[in-house]
Structure 1
Amino acid sequence: MITLEMELHANGYSYVACIDEVGRGCLLGDVVACAIIMPKGLHIEGVKDSKKLTPKKRDKLYDIILDNCIAFGIGRIDSSKIDEINIKESTREAMKLAIENLVDKFGNRIVPDYLLIDAEKINLSIPQEGIVKGDDKCHGIACASIVAKVFRDRLCLEWAKIYPEYGIDRHKGYGTKLHVEAIKKYGVTPIHRNTFLKKILDGKLK
């Protein structure tokens, strides 16, 4: 099967960066994006949309992807910035940071010559294409989704140590019943996204 990445490589693009994010719908914590450049022709068995993988499988693939990639970068936008500029703009900013943070295994900055982005457009002059459901259709975007997901899940484990009563290690910041009940019982933490909580708190958020 001829993939989009293969077509781009055949057309002379050397560094095709694939970008995805995780945490857009969470009630707390950063939105995290990953930009990754995979070698030409490499297809890692088992890679697909991170949401369709078990945590154990994601962890295993995370290591394989980072061992084999040409370069990767992570971008993070925290909850206070999300409240300030909204989640859509924060997602785009995280993606932009991830691209700017692309480095190879030796720490050298790598500038991509084409971007494949999961359902977004980024304000950069680099040629790009947004792909709806990109983590299902594009191997590189699926790789980026796995790296972003594992990276953010590990952040959640650190946040869970700071705020143990909220169960962050279990719900990862999403609006589960456990999480909502914890917010109502214990209040709002500094890492919650206040603009996401107004309905939950029935307009009582200060």
Structure 2
Amino acid sequence: MSSFAMRKATLGTVGLVVVGSLALSACNGDDKGTADGATKSPTSAPTSPASPSTQPSAPADQGGAAGDAKGGQQFKIGEAAQFPFKYGTTTKGEIALTVTSIEKGAPADLAPLKLGDKAAGKVPYYIHYSVKNVGTTDLQYASVGHIKGHLGDGTEAQDLTIIGKFEKCSSDSLPQGFTNGKTQEGCAIALAPSATTKVASAEYWGDPFMTIGKGLIWK
């Protein structure tokens, strides 16, 4: 199922995955159920961190034409990186991606997600970014995901993926008619393990890079 279809099917439902330590879904009181009309109850189950061998790999220098960003390249916050973009099996184009800010949130921001003790001590950081279509194809309904945070020592921060609406950090599929020159803002969430630890940088590791640590870095 595409990200666009999944978002339509879960409108009114807030779900999440904390990558690397646990997996769970959280529902608010306005649950409207799934696409087939069934209502799912909140569930939780611990998972083990993914080992490097389970992650997809690709050459670190993958890119497109000359001038496109290369895997491992670093940018300043606010600086655009242009590269060939692919979503699914048929959507291909060229985008300019910019991480515009990394904003520290408050632990209380996580309360609507009903994580309980699983969120104890964790601090959300909001990675704000913009996507511009600089190619010749319509990228409507594609999703630009695979954006994660890194802590000050370079280790990965936990991801928090929201399905549905979360006012503090909204990220939607690209809209209909997302043609050349169109721009959309987005947001990804990273969790710091404590109030004394900071999410200091962000990485895009999606297509064509596909390896965490070998993508594009903003700091």
TM-score by length of 2: 0.22
TM-score by length of 1: 0.23
Higher helix share: 1
Higher strand share: 2
